[in-house]
A and B are shown apart, each in its own frame.
Chain A
Amino acid sequence: MTIVTRLGMGALALTFATAALPAWAQTKIEFFFPVPVEGKLAREMTRLVKLYNESQKEVEVTAVYTGGYDDTKLKAQAAAKAGKPPSVVLMSANFNVDLKLSGDIISLEPMLKADETTRDDYLKDFWPALHANAMVDGELYGVPFHNSTPLLYYNVEHFKEVGLDPAKPPRTWAELVDAAKKLTKGDRYGFLMPAGYDYLGWLMEALSMSNGGRYFNEEYGGEVYYDQPSMLGAARFVEDLIFKHKVMPQGVTEAGGVSTSFFAGKASMVLLSTGSLSFIRENMKQPYDVAFVPMNVRNAVPIGGASLVMFAGQSEESKKAGWKFIKWLTTPETLGGWSRFTGYFAPRKSSYDKPEMKDFIAKNPDAKVALDQLPYAKPWFATYQTVAVRKALEDEIQAMMNGKKKADQAVKDAQKKADELMRPYVEQTSLKLP
């Protein structure tokens, strides 16, 4: 036997030994995560998972980057259908109702019981607005991970130029219209909001909530309030901004178009997510500031964002390992670090008691405004057939924004379509009588 083969055999044996050693003790699980904004977040998430794997020996997590929110849902469901469900998935928080109804995700109540804690105790540290989206039918299904609310961003230069005080941004719809009229000049619009699918539904929820409404029944997945005064008022308001006050362009502008217009100085005030804070901070050349979403009846905004869910069909060990990983990912420190990195807000209140977070807020007053708006936050709409029911409203509002329909007709048609979509569920639940 030559020295080379002997060395080779030795190396081989060593490989087997090291490979075999942790294998009996370690549970391997998969974690699917989307990155809605940019690639740099994917690297940060990979770094976190590596940190976790090195910090302990029982669980080895493989992080799988799965594209946007929709793709992540799709890929997780496809993997589950193929008999290889991911253990933990970072899922858009308003998919939870549908995923529970389709039997894709599991209740986290047994894990709470194993940890000898109660749901109330567990959720106590999370902002109250997040509780509704974490639960389905009274049970815990998701652990909030990163969240956002809509926010008004405005160009300070433009405010000064037309004699508005940048320290006093519009607080009400009346003030918004007023300011927007002054700011609209030539090819510059005073106000702009994203109206593509997904974003539009969220912002219409913000406007109807600011108008005293609820958008949907947060306790029951079979009801939405599209043809109610709160939504009708919000729809008429958007219609007026375009056709009466002429401070917003006709038609639909996607989120990318809105931020580009804001950067280019072609839109003075825009509604965008707090999740865009870092993006705007890095790309906006002119001075800007942020403010609460203006209100008509009360201050209220919906939350958005994602929570960690566990998929059905995994083994008991895998479930235990997944839950362990979730607990590590949602410590106040990890959530705080992720929040500073992304611009989303941290779902745990205690994250904001940490010194690093206090420093960060002191240095970034715009993040402070987002935080101050949180006490007014409300749940994100999630119903039976969430996407289709949301689209029912969006299609009609888009038609209205294109001048094809009046607001009154639009909300009526949206309600009719939404009711049709939810009928199978309603008939099996609240209309199923003894």
Chain B
Amino acid sequence: MSVAGATGIFDSVQRSSAMAASARRRRMRLLPYVLLAPSLLFLGLFTYLPVARVVVESLYDKPHGTGAATSFVGLGNYARVLTDPAFHQAALNNLIYAVGVLVPTLVLALAFALAVQRSTRLSAVLRTVFFFPSLVPLVAAASLFFFIFLPGVGLLDYYLARLGLRGPNWLGDSDVALWSIIGLTVWKNAGYYMLFYIAGLQNVPRDTVEAAMIDGANSWQRLRFVILPALAPTTAFVTVIALIQLLTSVDHVIVLTRGGPSNATNLLLYYIFQSAHENFEYGKAAAATLISVAILLAISFGSLRIMERGARGNG
């Protein structure tokens, strides 16, 4: 073999190793995307594609049963939703429902957390007891409350009768029904948010609390001026999570009242369901969906801003 041939081989080996290195670098650069691809694919297919379809669907209308073709109506569906009295009622109900659930839930969650924060054997049992309702699926909880709320013969009326009281028609009176639904939701959620407060309480600086004690602050003052401000980020976080949850679950409404009586318990999500599946108004349902999503995004961003400000203030 000649020298030239040998150097040729050497060159090509060197060249090929350089090529291999650059290929490896290219592969390394691609690797993250390859690894991400499955998740991206599914995220795209099952999250963003449906969202895009809803956006498109909200701009078109096909009047049911009139033989008319699907036509582009621009923001027409949005206008129809926003002027629909049933939508106004559902939105108002949802607002009452959200505030009505949120406030007692937060108070109870905090009270529970304060009661069980020290780890004794009793508080371990109590934690389980308080947490139990969140383990029950909402549909099951609603079926349970069906029997509790039964007018005249239900558990609630049975015990009220023992006290000589007569309860209202819990789910059948249009002035009471939404509050019954609110009561059920508070029962269901308070234990769950207690967990966040228990975690939050661990992070309240001990020395600040002790300093307050030495300064002669009683337990109410310690709670009001030391613990609550320290818990502000937790409260903000729980508020956001709770609000989202309150807009996105209507299982109990479907099981117990289907929005009745006279739409008194109709919530936004159920309104969307009715538009799409009872009334064949897919365009309107899509528009209402996007309006609800917009509300959710506004709540989330708004609260996150407040939370950030709160965190900075604390720091």
A residues near B, CB below 8 A? 70, 73-74, 77, 98, 101-102, 187, 195-197, 249-254, 256-257, 260-261, 264, 266, 384-385, 387-388, 391, 394-396, 398-399, 401-402, 404, 424-425, 427-428
Contact = CB atoms under 8 A, between A and B. Distances in A.
Contact of A261 (B68, B153, B263, B278): B153
A251 B261 contact: yes
Interface of B: 63-68, 146, 150-153, 161, 166, 168-169, 171-175, 257-263, 274, 277-280
B261 A398 contact: yes
Contacts of B64: 98, 101-102, 384-385, 424
Contacts of A388: 274, 278-279
B153 A260 contact: yes
27 contacts: A70-B277, A74-B277, A102-B65, A196-B257, A196-B258, A196-B260, A249-B151, A249-B169, A251-B151, A251-B174, A252-B169, A252-B172, A254-B171, A256-B150, A261-B150, A261-B151, A388-B274, A395-B261, A395-B262, A396-B262, A398-B261, A398-B262, A402-B174, A402-B175, A404-B174, A424-B64, A428-B66
Given A102-B280, A256-B146, A391-B278, 12 more contacts: A98-B65, A252-B172, A252-B260, A385-B64, A387-B278, A394-B260, A398-B260, A399-B261, A402-B262, A404-B262, A428-B66, A428-B67
Contact of B171 (A252, A264, A391): A252
A378 B258 CA distance: 27
A254 B172 contact: yes
B173 A250 contact: yes
Contacts of B259: 197
Main secondary structure of the interface of A (DSSP, over half): helix
A196 B150 CA distance: 13
A384 B65 contact: yes
A257 B173 contact: no
B53 to A, nearest CB: 11
B260 A249 contact: no
A425 B279 CA distance: 13
Contacts of B161: 187
Contacts of B151: 249, 251, 253, 257, 261
Most chain A beta-carbon neighbours within 10 Å: one of B65, B67, B146, B168: B65
B153 to A, nearest CB: 5
A270 to B, nearest CB: 13
